[in-house]
Structure 1
Amino acid sequence: MRNISELISFIKSTMSMTDVYQPAVILHLLERGGTSTRAELAKTLSGYDEGVQAYYDKILMRWPKITLTKHKVVTYERKSLSFVLNFHLSDPHAVEEAKELCEQKIREWIEKKKQYRTLPRIEASVRYRILKAARGKCELCGISSKIAPIDIDHIVPKSQADKHGYVAKDNIMMPVDDERNLQALCYRCNRAKRDQDATDFRQPRSGIIRDQSVAYVAGVAHTARKLEGIELRDKLLEKLVGDHARLIDQDSEEQLDIRITDMIETLLAIAQGEGKTESELLELIKQRREELGRLDTGLYLDDNVA
């Protein structure tokens, strides 16, 4: 076992934080004589919310476990599913100092987070529109709000906002709570994304992808910009994935003909990007039907038949 002065030195000088996980784990272990089960630690990280304890069990085994074992702060015992501090805890004054340092780190993190809460809050009407646009589902994993709670996520995180509450998205300065910077993510995906990532997971759903005059619309019409070449093709392929997901969504409230039409529009736009006109594409479809018709009519479920 190591001397607790080394733990104090680690907390003061070595420990870097992207969240409160490390000091929370260390403090929890200090308060329990240096040993705790994995389940108890997950409960501490989750704030005693049973609905998210499984998620924090995974969090615990990822960042805190990897980092703290790397620095030889803790040992994880697989047999008992327990974490053990690698320090002698016989000096009560040193233990109290280590606890206070952990609490101080947590307080500093909380204060850091508070500064972002002073920014304007998302109005209920905005939240409704974002969830409606996402059809009540997570933009990343697709889980329904009927199964898991859906958060309104800032694509460009609040942590990147300037002192006036503005962020740069798509080379445009906008308020951090602007609808163009908001997406619907479930609790798990939002926590996994954290505040270090600015990925926009929204699938473009506009049906206005017809020709080069209106190349691509994503969201609000007045913010549309023309895309060309590879960028346009990639966006169209992204949209096709979203259109397909909508088409096969058995719980969708959209009319089937609308979903089919949107997918056809996207396919036509992709073909046009490859130099095919709509009439040429229809002719190719006709030829393909004739080729298949020589074999038989109807649908084939044989994997060997295209």
Structure 2
Amino acid sequence: MSHVYQPLMIRTMLAGGGAATRRQIATAFLGADLSQLEYYEEITKGYPQQTLKRHQLIEHERGVYRLASEAAPSNEWERAALIAVCDAKVADYIARRQDAIWRHRAQNFEPIPGTIRYQVLVRARGRCEACGVSNEVRALQVDHIIPRTAGGSNDLWNFQALCSLCNVQKLNKDATDFHAAHQAFDHRQSGCMLCAPTEGEVFEENELMFAVHDPDPGADRILIAPKRHVIDRFDLWQPEINASWQLESALATKLRASDDSIIGFRIGSGTDRVAGVGVHYRTHLTPVRADGL
């Protein structure tokens, strides 16, 4: 079996005497999903804990929560009555808010193609691309860098592998103006040749990067540059780094397929200066051939 879903599904049916509802199976999946559990652990530490402690209804120590002595029921009848009150409050809230309760979890939900998910995780080498923690320590999630609700696409460059903790912190605390960031990708520098390549120069591209042949006479290399005007490698944003890697990989595959003499590539980068002013940053992709040419 290629995933935990199948044995969990069979186990749930076995536990139910040979049959189980879709909701029962989904509940079993949820119980085994470490990333979801970590997400709700972070939620617990937030406003539910803070609100109940402020009202002196609970006590908390080393991850264990207890009802405050003043709020604890004195007998089973009081316990049952308080549980009924809680159930009524939940039912009333759901009736009033309906699906809006969970909209913060569903707003970016769209099935990510399996091939894309796999490529993102392989590219991350089993580590969170934000904090570097291993997936052996904390579950990894495939996350949109620019959310779908802010116009982000399902292209490979717009995904990153985040551990469940970094993903939660990003959702709760990231105040980036994604609309402004999206517009910033369109920044061009007047007079820059790579900001405005002539028609026919660009022979490969994706949404953020493009490739042209080096115009220097005799140069056997390809220039890969961001469409946004950038003068330094360290000014690249993560989506551009991802898009650059994607385009370099695609070009290398295409060149190998068309030329059997290519045994590898040299990759360099740089930014020239004209009259003391930095010009458009680019990566150089140079084929290495078996004959040395």
TM-score scaled by length of structure 1: 0.41
Q: Which has the higher helix share?
A: 1
TM-score scaled by length of structure 2: 0.43
Q: Which has the higher strand share?
A: 2
